[in-house]
Structure 1
Amino acid sequence: MRAVALSSTKSSSKLSTLRIQVPRKLKPLLAPKRYKGAYGGRGGAKSHFFAEQAILRCIQAQTRVVCIREVQSSIKDSVRQLLIDKIAKFGVQTMFDVLDAEIRGPHGSLIVFKGMQSYNATNVKSLEAYDVAWVEEAQTFSQHSLDLLRPTIRKEGSELWFSWNPRFKTDPVDMFFRKNPPPDAVSVMVNWRDNPWFPDVLYREMAHDFVDDEDKAEHTWNGAYGTSQGAILAKWVNRAEREGRINDEIVYDPEGAAIEISSDIGFHDTATWWYWQRVKGGFHLLKYEGESGYDADDWIDIIKGNLESTGMRLGKIWLPHDARAKTFQSKHTTAERFLSAFGAGKVDVVPQSKKLDQIGAARAVMAKCAFNATACEDGLDGLRAWEYDYNEETQVFSREPKHNWASHPSDGFAYGAQVMSVVEYEAPPQEPDWNNLETIGTLNDAWMDHSRTVSAHRRM
């Protein structure tokens, strides 16, 4: 609980005290920091916390606050109503003028609402004098917007606040706070369990969601990386993680099947490679890598280096169907260059097929896959982020995946899934250990059972 002294010059000069209660989990955000982040699922009080802090600062001293979203089509998309509710909750309505596009407070304080889509390098300078920039729904905040905003909010002692429900590990706000945060940043994960005022009506809603769709509920309520409505493989990846099929114990078996490599490859575009090993009952994904700007010859050297350094035996490299096409950069196709480098029988092309068939194969095979968590981390991030394209006007997902960074690792995986699902690996039969008495006993028992069955049939 935090106490703040208030004085209202509009109604009276009487000094009063306002007590604000804050969930314990959010306490680290009360200390001065340049960057503050609160992330997690629904009901964690993230937005309520920042809204109350904005009102408090305006009351204590002159403060300019800009409330930002990546896209704000109208004022209804903003946190304006939440701030109005907090003003009413604190009983300080006489200290604020609530207008259509802004809220004016004591000491010349000001709160405005903006969408970053309306800013560029020139007009974003209008925010230089602001004390606080609060980015709500920050999981949709683009890298361009983040790069534009950070140097703009430059007033001494100014702060940038971010509240969001995690979507993908690769979203700019997650990369900024959770992968390599600057020293003057603090972030906390807060969920419904951390909110002492979590209402019963939301608890009942949450319980229903976990029964209805566990993956979706984990994202919505527990702040797990998301499975959006248009997600293609995220649900299957999350299931593999829950079942313990994503860990660092998935390693190459030198006595097992030879390695197969599936790919999505293009010149000056991102090329991706998955290293598969067939095992009894399924597949082990041992490595993923992807990069842009490399051509076929570059990747040939990289793949050879990977095989040599790990001792993995190459079975076959599966190239996408367009690897047969010639490019302006070479007289030979990608497939021809790989065949020349690795030899006949070591390179093949995945037959052309419909995208829906590729997705179906990827989902079917995913249930039989286990992944090395570290070596496949970037590829798994792509599989989680792969989603269908969404039409903003019709508000309908299309039947085609969105073409972005996630489509490259996902296409490479789907191409591999097509060929992996055709013939599964069967371990070669092992020679019985004749020195093992238990084995001999088992074989004798089986032979006696067989003999009795044959005798019974003869008597019939």
Structure 2
Amino acid sequence: MSTLRIEVPRKLKPLLQPKRYKGAYGGRGGAKSHFFAEQIAVRAATSPIRAVCIREVQNSIKDSVRQLIVDKILKHGLEGMLEILEAEIRGRVGTPAEGSLIVFKGMQSYNAANIKSLEGFDIAWVEEAQTFSQASLDMLRPTLRKPGSELWFSWNPRYKTDPVDQFFRQRPPKDSVAVNINWQDNPWFRDTPLHQDMLDDYEADADKAEHVWGGAYGASQGAILARWVNEAERAGRITNEVDYDPNGAPVEISSDLGYRDTSCWWFWQRRLGGYVIFDYMHGTQMDADDWAPLLQARLKERGVKPEMLGRIWLPPDAKAKTFATKHSAMEKFIRAFGVQKIGPKPGSKKDDQISAARTIIKKVKIHKDRCEDGIDGLLAWEYEWNEEDNIFSREPKHNWASHRGDSFAYGCEIMEGLVAPPQPERGRHLEVGHGNTMKFDDMWATQQAASGRI
């Protein structure tokens, strides 16, 4: 066979060296998928290898990278070595490719028993790896155990919390290499129609284009706040030059509560012409008795004296939450902080919450490092996709990001129109602590009446 001449972008050359884990990430036009497809086609044609091309979900062979690999086979005239079948590609008998096998699978078709069929494979290529779940990653890694075997991943970054991003960009294993490549690194990009598409997209929506073409995080089509978060960062309003002002307005804390789900807390302070968020906390498997001392400690750490705490605003359902005890979350926080320091946030429609969030985020500065986990959630907060109607619904998707988004939106509603705390009335009492003089249900009713909800 004549010598093959394979050209690759200079940026991708580190992926040619032997490594257990190889990653290529960035926006469209960087030739990531073309590089891996070509490598598999050439390797399978020149020596017997077995490769599996994987997506998290693959409903049919049309969803796979099969056609891209076929195109590479035809481009280099390798069809004499490789037999192209409907669901797989095999090396032809009597050629250097004899014994080669390329298959295409969705991880949803594997379980602990049948994934053992991949034990003897040489290469596993995960395309669109930003959607690859942690469970899939944990299942695949120990399965490919043949000496010298490699796992390849290509993806367009979505969220910093995606398992593949954490694996390669936050906690990379020793025997790994990851390359960030975008259209600027592809020497052939300007000769394709994609170049004009990219220019048009940047002109129409620079934020979306930066995600699609520039490989930036978090601007999915159904994103609720990503556009405004990115605008805030570009404007320098997400910065570490933000802190609590002891001579400023009282501190307000907005929250969303969960036990098995995540509880989230944003620390707000009004400023002239806007607001600051100087801290953020979240955690799971903790109830009100756990959170109260943690909040007190964090306020003290930031220099917030008790008299400078305005209120801790709890979500509307805090009245009913029990965390498997006879007392509600609201009652427990009142016991810890006092009735004047706890506010039940008035109920509101989700559309109104999102509208408030999109308004207030234009006027808020956020501490970048302290609030990093919360900001990641705001970038990932997105609407649920309705498969039946092929549209995004009006309700946010319930996932890890929803609690961060909800608690932020609650805070935006509060900042937009801070409600005065309910005043205790003579003759009523609250049996949750010393000095409280109001029944819990009466406090709730008074709060709702003050907000115009009843």
- Tell me the TM-score normalized by structure 1: 0.87
Residue 328 of structure 1, CA deviation: 6.4
Q: Distance in 1 between matches of 2:324 and 2:120?
A: 51
Q: Please identify runs of 4+ aligned residues in structure 1 that moved more than 4 A.
A: none
Mapped pair 1:258 → 2:275 = no
1:380-399 paired onto structure 2 within 5 Å: 380-399=375-394
- Alignment partner, residue 327 of structure 1: 322
Q: Distance in 1 between matches of 2:89 and 2:321?
A: 61
- Aligned residue for 1:25, secondary structure, equals helix
Task: Please say which structure displays the higher CA radius of gyration.
Answer: 1
Q: Distance in 2 between matches of 1:263 and 1:327?
A: 16
Q: Distance in 2 between matches of 1:88 and 1:267?
A: 56
Residue 423 of structure 1, CA deviation: 4.7
Mapped pair 1:77 → 2:69 = no
Q: Taking structure 1 as reference, are residues 182 and 312 closer, same or farther at Cα in structure 2, changes over 3 Å only?
A: same
Q: Spell out, residue by residue over 1:344-396, the C-alpha distance to the aligned partner (whole angstroms, 9 max, x if none).
A: 32110110111111111111111011111100000000000011111223321
2:22 pairs with 3, 23, 36, which one?
36
Q: Distance in 2 between matches of 1:394 and 1:96?
A: 42
Q: Distance in 2 between matches of 1:332 and 1:117?
A: 43
1:154-165 paired onto structure 2 within 5 Å: 154-165=145-156
1:3-152 paired onto structure 2 within 5 Å: 7=1, 16-105=2-91, 106-152=97-143
1:317 pairs with 308, 312, 318, which one?
312
Q: Distance in 1 between matches of 2:155 and 2:136?
A: 15
Q: Distance in 2 between matches of 1:111 and 1:394?
A: 36
Q: Distance in 1 between matches of 2:66 and 2:388?
A: 25
Decide whether the 8 Å contact of 1:138 with 1:173 is kept in 2. Answer: yes
1:224 pairs with 199, 216, 219, which one?
216
1:300 pairs with 292, 297, 301, which one?
292
Decide whether the 8 Å contact of 2:45 with 2:82 is kept in 1. Answer: no
Q: Distance in 2 between matches of 1:56 and 1:331?
A: 67
| Matched AA of 2:414 | V
| Matched AA of 2:116 | K
- Alignment partner, residue 429 of structure 1: none
- Alignment partner, residue 290 of structure 1: 282
| Matched AA of 2:352 | D
Residue 329 of structure 1, CA deviation: 2.6
Residue 326 of structure 1, CA deviation: 4.9
Residue 324 of structure 1, CA deviation: 1.0
- Aligned residue for 1:397, secondary structure, equals strand
Decide whether the 8 Å contact of 1:379 with 1:409 is kept in 2. Answer: yes
- Alignment partner, residue 267 of structure 2: 275
Relative to structure 2, which stretch is displaced further, 192-201 or 125-134? 192-201
Decide whether the 8 Å contact of 2:357 with 2:412 is kept in 1. Answer: yes
1:376-455 paired onto structure 2 within 5 Å: 376-423=371-418
- Aligned residue for 2:339, secondary structure, equals coil
Decide whether the 8 Å contact of 2:54 with 2:107 is kept in 1. Answer: yes
Residue 309 of structure 1, CA deviation: 1.8
Q: Distance in 2 between matches of 1:326 and 1:197?
A: 59
Residue 249 of structure 1, CA deviation: 1.0
Q: Spell out, residue by residue over 1:269-317, the C-alpha distance to the aligned partner (whole angstroms, 9 max, x if none).
A: 2111001111111111111111110000100010011111221232211
| Matched AA of 1:215 | D
Decide whether the 8 Å contact of 2:259 with 2:323 is kept in 1. Answer: no
- Aligned residue for 1:187, secondary structure, equals strand
Mapped pair 1:167 → 2:152 = no
Mapped pair 1:184 → 2:175 = yes
Q: Taking structure 1 as reference, are residues 323 and 109 closer, same or farther at Cα in structure 2, changes over 3 Å only?
A: same
Q: Distance in 2 between matches of 1:389 and 1:209?
A: 24
Q: Distance in 2 between matches of 1:80 and 1:344?
A: 64
- Aligned residue for 1:311, secondary structure, equals coil
1:374 pairs with 369, 372, 397, which one?
369
Unaligned runs of 5+ in 2: 92-96, 420-454
- Aligned residue for 1:152, secondary structure, equals coil
Mapped pair 1:197 → 2:188 = yes
Q: Spell out, residue by residue over 1:391-437, the C-alpha distance to the aligned partner (whole angstroms, 9 max, x if none).
A: 2233211111110110011111011111101159xxxxxxxxxxxxx
- Alignment partner, residue 444 of structure 2: none
- Aligned residue for 1:67, secondary structure, equals strand
2:230 pairs with 238, 242, 245, which one?
238
Q: Distance in 2 between matches of 1:173 and 1:329?
A: 36
Decide whether the 8 Å contact of 2:287 with 2:323 is kept in 1. Answer: no
| Matched AA of 1:129 | G
Identity %: 63
Q: Distance in 2 between matches of 1:300 and 1:77?
A: 49
Q: Distance in 1 between matches of 2:321 and 2:78?
A: 71
Q: Spell out, residue by residue over 1:105-146, the C-alpha distance to the aligned partner (whole angstroms, 9 max, x if none).
A: 213111000000111111111111100000001111111111
- Tell me the TM-score normalized by structure 2: 0.88
Unaligned runs of 5+ in 1: 1-6, 8-15, 425-460
2:335 pairs with 327, 340, 351, which one?
340
| Matched AA of 2:347 | Q
Decide whether the 8 Å contact of 1:216 with 1:226 is kept in 2. Answer: no
Q: Spell out, residue by residue over 1:17-69, the C-alpha distance to the aligned partner (whole angstroms, 9 max, x if none).
A: 11111101101111111000000000000001001111121123211000000
Relative to structure 2, which stretch is displaced further, 269-278 or 376-385? 269-278
Residue 229 of structure 1, CA deviation: 1.3
1:357 pairs with 338, 352, 356, which one?
352
Decide whether the 8 Å contact of 1:268 with 1:295 is kept in 2. Answer: no
